[in-house]
A and B are shown apart, each in its own frame.
Chain A
Amino acid sequence: MSEKLVCGDKKHAGGKMVRVCVVVGEKGVLDAFVTGDFFVEPDEAYEKLEEELRRVLVETGDPERLREALSRVLESSNAKLHGVEVEDFIEAAKRVLGAGS
């Protein structure tokens, strides 16, 4: 079995941290989840953010696609992130998928 769990962290300057973890196999990203010490208002929007992050990374493996997808979830849920921004999710995903700065 050549599946591997790898995580990428991004701490927002003066703020909180996002950690994107992915399970990578021969066919690319098999699974993904996001954890961290940030806040979401309301909390329930987090599940939607995570579901969308998983879908985008498994389907495309492209962290850049998270920008539009996660922003759409926040807008449709009338939700706000505190301590981090959508860009931190993208940067954490880039770090774990090898395209980070």
Chain B
Amino acid sequence: MPVLHGSGGERALRCMVAEWPSNQFFNLAFEEAFYRILPRLGWGACLRFWRNDRVVVIGRFQCAALEVNALEARRLGVRLVRRFTGGGAVYHDGGNLNYALALLRSVSPVKDMKEAFRFLGETVADALGSLGVKDATYRPLNDIEVRGMKISGLAASVGREALFVHGAMLVSSDLGVLWRVLKIPKEKLVDKKFVQSRRKRVTTLEEELGRSVGTEEVMKAIVDVVSEKLGFKPEWTPLTQPEMDEARRLYNEKYCRVEWNLKYLDHVRSYLSPEELEALLEIARPPETARQEVGGGE
């Protein structure tokens, strides 16, 4: 396949901010797009940062109706979108910084999914340490914790040519909304630690540092550690046309569709109340205004 772009070569860490916060569906489409397109661009690794407005992002193998309190989500203006990686449901809002790393297998020190989790988990824990967070640690399989409280979760996918791992960092998120829109499985309720204080199971970067934190300093901390660990020089670049083309294709064919976001709905449809069904169908597709905005870049 021909290489289309990429000035830094395979030993460069391409970095970008690429975000469409008011269209969470396009944000997730771009997430898959830049990973799929990486082998055509000529960089060895690519790190993306982005933010979302209120949304529950469910894992690839989850059933939305079983994970999300749709009526509460609709009431609070929270959307619902499925990502292409496995793992559990997470809540995003403007107080959340998302990061994603795609690595070409040919130059990557990381060879499989387990190693990808460890690499980015330890990297982000080190970055938090450099920001002044005490006792930030990677906890296998896919958590980053501060004294037992989750501050970031990870998810990953492994392809033939590239590896992908991404995470969501709680910087200043509204944890009250998080607990209202996510359904907690009974199995987790038997977890003593969970029952004791579910709000105490998670923390935010601002709570830990006791001050407001800008996304730029978090991004810089993560870029510094990733580039050091990979031995790749960071290079900030704008997004490319092939990435946008692929993102638009994925958005139109997959991420803006309820068939993708509400997979399994036909299995559970007859067991939902009409109100819950209506709420699910509303939150799982982009609003008209967001659809019109797609096409803009950074």
The reply to whether A39 and B113 contact each other, CB–CB distance below 8 Å, is yes
Total interface residues on B, CB under 8 Å, equals 32
The reply to whether A23 and B267 contact each other, CB–CB distance below 8 Å, is yes
For the complex, give the distance between the alpha carbons of A1 and B26 in Å.
Answer: 41
CB distance from A12 to the nearest CB of B (A): 10
For the complex, give the distance between the alpha carbons of A43 and B61 in Å.
Answer: 9
A19: which of B114, B155, B185, B271 is its contact (CB, 8 Å)? B185
B66: which of A7, A31, A46, A83 is its contact (CB, 8 Å)? A7
The reply to whether B141 and A16 contact each other, CB–CB distance below 8 Å, is yes
Measured between beta carbons, the chain B residues less than 8 angstroms from A16 are: 87-88, 141
For the complex, give the distance between the alpha carbons of A31 and B59 in Å.
Answer: 22
Chain B residue with minimal CB distance to A7? B66
CB distance from B77 to the nearest CB of A (A): 25
CB distance from A90 to the nearest CB of B (A): 15
For window 254-297 of B, CB contacts with A under 8 Å fall at 264, 267-268, 270-271
The reply to whether B141 and A35 contact each other, CB–CB distance below 8 Å, is no
Total interface residues on A, CB under 8 Å, equals 27
Q: Mark A17-35, 1 if CB is under 8 A from B, else 0.
A: 1010101000000010111
For the complex, give the distance between the alpha carbons of A41 and B142 in Å.
Answer: 14
The reply to whether B141 and A41 contact each other, CB–CB distance below 8 Å, is no
The reply to whether B59 and A37 contact each other, CB–CB distance below 8 Å, is yes
For window 153-174 of B, CB contacts with A under 8 Å fall at 155-159
Q: Mark B195-212, 1 if CB is under 8 A from A, else 0.
A: 000000000000000000
Is residue B217 within 8 Å, beta carbon to beta carbon, of the partner chain? Answer: no
Query: Contacts A17-B187, A23-B267: A35 and B61 contacting too (C-beta < 8 A)?
Result: yes
A39: which of B63, B156, B188, B191 is its contact (CB, 8 Å)? B156
B187: which of A9, A23, A35 is its contact (CB, 8 Å)? A9
The reply to whether B61 and A38 contact each other, CB–CB distance below 8 Å, is yes
The reply to whether B62 and A83 contact each other, CB–CB distance below 8 Å, is no
CB distance from B81 to the nearest CB of A (A): 16
For the complex, give the distance between the alpha carbons of A3 and B35 in Å.
Answer: 42
CB distance from A76 to the nearest CB of B (A): 17
For the complex, give the distance between the alpha carbons of A80 and B88 in Å.
Answer: 18
Measured between beta carbons, the chain A residues less than 8 angstroms from B185 are: 9, 11, 17, 19
Measured between beta carbons, the chain A residues less than 8 angstroms from B156 are: 39
CB distance from A95 to the nearest CB of B (A): 10
CB distance from B262 to the nearest CB of A (A): 12
Measured between beta carbons, the chain B residues less than 8 angstroms from A19 are: 63, 66, 185
Is residue A69 within 8 Å, beta carbon to beta carbon, of the partner chain? Answer: no
Query: Contacts A35-B66, A46-B60: A41 and B112 contacting too (C-beta < 8 A)?
Result: yes
**A residues in contact (CB < 8 Å) with B:** 5, 7, 9-11, 15-17, 19, 21, 23, 31, 33-43, 46, 80, 82-83
Given contacts A39-B141, A40-B61, A41-B158, 14 further A-B contacts (CB under 8 A): A5-B268, A10-B187, A17-B185, A19-B63, A21-B63, A23-B267, A35-B63, A35-B264, A36-B62, A41-B113, A42-B157, A43-B157, A82-B141, A83-B141
**B residues in contact (CB < 8 Å) with A:** 59-63, 66, 84-89, 112-114, 141-142, 155-159, 185-188, 191, 264, 267-268, 270-271
